[in-house]
Structure 1
Amino acid sequence: MRHTLRAGIAGAALLALLTTGCAGENSGDEVTVYSADGLKYQSGDGFYDRAFKKFEEETGIKVNYVEGGSGEVVQRLTRERNNTKADVLLTLPPFIQQAQSRGLLDAYRPAGWEKIDDSDKDADGMWTAVVKNYFCFIYNTEELDAPPETWQDLLDSSYKGRFQYSTPGVAGDGTAVVIKSMHDFGGLEPAMDYLKKLQVNNVGPSASTGALVPKVDKGELLVSNSDVQMSFANREAMPNQDIFFPAMEGKAPTTFSLPYAGGLVKGGPQQENAQKLLDYLVSPEAQKMISDAGGGFPSRTDVTPEGEYAERARKALDGVEIFTPDWQTIDKELDSYLEAWREATGS
């Protein structure tokens, strides 16, 4: 049974490790990774599980793995900048850009960097997409015959107390709610006007998007935010949920790429090992594991995703307009966006 750590009780233990624990001594035959959650599974059969095992077998370099929310891992890296323990950072936008703007990353173009779309990497090589992914919402397929097709539908009173999205600024997918609503509604002010109305139905804050998936599957929630990778990776363990993309009335649904992006940590104790790991993660060998093991998409354009999950995900994106956020602007303005969200929702 495939089950991600994002949705498992092990997440609480990992959060404790992230906030209070130590990554351990980083010796010459090790590399330490700080990562957003979602690609390492309780079953031991996720993308990270497979890729790290193969990397260790081929190189003899042990991977020390520490995970948390997309923003949490950057916060930890920031706190440790004078005593850096991590070698590789893997997290979602806009937090990978946040790490870059804080001076936490060093430029490195992994082998095969030229096979990755310009929109999925930093032009100066500060970060590179490893696993492509897309933002979405999910709904309970047992209680709902069809998902709410529009943003307006989500305001219906039937969703009161049975709708929830993860906290912007803490969770990557929560931050994505703000980004998508700003795109769809045409700016910050109209998006905040809408989210203020939506707050009537919202259960409240959640630091973890993954914690919402089992609630939707069980019917405790009818709808929550999510992402394509997480939804499909959880499909066997949690079959009563499916994805959708809320649209504006009379317009096509929209989404955007929300990849797991990797960067070389500035001042990391094992930079050579970090480079080897980044090389491996974007190698054809590792990229071919992604769709089957992780439910996401390869970031390399010369690797075609294969398998049941890849086919389902492709079908789910049919007819969906994919836009490219201005990540540089979002990074600069993120604090003001989050303050506007807190003011609008009272959170």
Structure 2
Amino acid sequence: MRNVMLGLATAGALVASLPAAQAADAICYNCPPQWADWASQLDAIKDNLGYELPHDNKNSGQTLSQLLAEQGNPVADIAYYGVTFGIKAKAEGVTAAYKPAGFEEIPEGLKDPEGHWFTTHFGTLGLFVNLDALGDAPVPQCWADLTKPEYDGMVGYLDPSSAFVGYAGAVAVNRAMGGDLDNFDPAIAYFQELAENDPIVPKQTSYARVVSGEIPILFDYDFNAYRAKYTEDGNFEFVLPCEGSVVVPYVMSLVNNGPNKERGKEILDFIMSDAGQQIWTNAFLKPARPIELPAEISEKFLPDSEYARATPVDYAKMEQVQKGFGERYLNEVR
């Protein structure tokens, strides 16, 4: 899902087979060390369970394609992908029901009731703001603020007809303005009004353009804003708009008839443990379970009271209506 649902993935070659598979203790599809600090997670699995998992750089779509191609003779034991791909994987019969330790603590809407997929961590849509690039304009606090004249030429959002992060932003705005997945009129009206402020609308992830100040305000995920705030030179903030927003989950599954079923279960149990969940915060992702984080970690995120305004949506329906919204955006906004 990273390149299809979240617009965050780097391109990866489809791996038809893994050279290290015979030597591996278990196989996880789409567990790339450079994303979400999977590097530390894989090291922790080896240190705590003794299992060696080879690196795998598929994206979510490639993962599902490979699971389908190998359905008669599975290679992988577990898989990681965006939530809509987890939903598709269950529908295609390539996942097995399993409820790892801590499953009951995962909020409703962020897991399949039978355990065919469950959230391991998630991001939240909001405003990634370069404070130094705002000039005399105040830090916006609400979606509605961005239509004010003082933000003319300062606002960016990814094209919602082609990038999922753009579409997720549109879903967030639409709901904030009183719409739902059956009615995108509020989002269309909002983007029409925002067009008067000459927004910047790239098609690709634009982290560097915010860091440089070219785009002072971008509809984006919290983890990108935190990454800039704590690792880049400059002054950056994440604003969770006053009207509310949506969360976007990343999920995992036990592969149906995988060759190392029990090892797969042990690995998923560890990933959902307090120790495994805390690792995701290295990449500024929110753990799926409400674990207590050390102060030096939790203080880097907005307070939980702020995050209470960000909630799940019906992700299966969100995917079903995406094409229709994209067409309306192209016809009525762009």
TM-score by length of structure 1 reads 0.75
Q: Who is 1:225 aligned against?
A: 219
Question: What is the alpha-carbon distance in structure 1 between the residues aligned to residue 331 and residue 257 of structure 2?
Answer: 38
The reply on whether 1:198 has 2:190 as its aligned counterpart is no
Q: Who is 1:249 aligned against?
A: none
The reply on whether 1:127 has 2:106 as its aligned counterpart is no
Query: Which of 27, 30, 48 is equivalent to 1:31?
Result: 27
The reply on whether 1:274 has 2:268 as its aligned counterpart is no
Structure 2's unaligned 5+ residue stretches are none
Question: What is the alpha-carbon distance in structure 2 between the residues aligned to residue 75 and residue 310 of structure 1?
Answer: 34
The reply on whether 1:235 has 2:229 as its aligned counterpart is yes
What SS does the corresponding residue of 2:248 show, helix, strand or coil? Answer: coil
Q: Who is 1:189 aligned against?
A: 185
* Aligned residue runs from structure 1 range 107-256, under 5 A: 107-144=97-134, 146-156=138-148, 159=151, 162-168=154-160, 171-185=163-177, 186=179, 187-199=183-195, 201-208=198-205, 212-238=206-232, 239-246=234-241, 252-256=242-246
Q: Who is 1:318 aligned against?
A: 306
Q: Who is 1:284 aligned against?
A: 274
Root mean square deviation of aligned Cα: 3.4
Residues 117 and 316 of structure 1, relative CA distance in 2, 3 Å threshold: closer
Alignment identity in percent?
20
Residues 177 and 281 of structure 1, relative CA distance in 2, 3 Å threshold: same
Question: What is the alpha-carbon distance in structure 2 between the residues aligned to residue 79 and residue 47 of structure 1?
Answer: 23
Q: Any idea what the Cα deviations from partners look like across 1:63-112, whole Å, max 9, x if unmatched?
A: 333447xxx52255236622366543333444433444454433221223
What SS does the corresponding residue of 2:53 show, helix, strand or coil? Answer: strand
Q: Any idea what the Cα deviations from partners look like across 1:258-308, whole Å, max 9, x if unmatched?
A: 2322123446565444333222110122123343x232333223x212233
Q: How many residues align?
A: 316
Question: What is the alpha-carbon distance in structure 2 between the residues aligned to residue 49 and residue 319 of structure 1?
Answer: 27
Q: Which moved more, 1:104-113 or 1:49-58?
A: 104-113
Residues 125 and 223 of structure 1, relative CA distance in 2, 3 Å threshold: same
Question: What is the alpha-carbon distance in structure 2 between the residues aligned to residue 75 and residue 164 of structure 1?
Answer: 29
Q: Who is 1:82 aligned against?
A: 69
Q: Who is 2:318 aligned against?
A: 330
What SS does the corresponding residue of 1:286 show, helix, strand or coil? Answer: helix
Q: Who is 1:57 aligned against?
A: 47
TM-score by length of structure 2 reads 0.78
Q: Which moved more, 1:259-268 or 1:53-62?
A: 259-268
What SS does the corresponding residue of 2:253 show, helix, strand or coil? Answer: strand
* Aligned residue runs from structure 1 range 297-316, under 5 A: 297-301=286-290, 303-315=291-303
Residue type at the aligned position of 1:164: G
Kept in 1, the 8 Å contact 2:161–2:167? The answer is: yes
Query: Which of 251, 254, 260 is equivalent to 2:250?
Result: 260
| Bigger radius of gyration | 2
Cα distance, 1:48 vs structure 2: 1.9
Residues 101 and 242 of structure 1, relative CA distance in 2, 3 Å threshold: farther
Question: What is the alpha-carbon distance in structure 2 between the residues aligned to residue 97 and residue 162 of structure 1?
Answer: 37
Residues 85 and 141 of structure 1, relative CA distance in 2, 3 Å threshold: farther
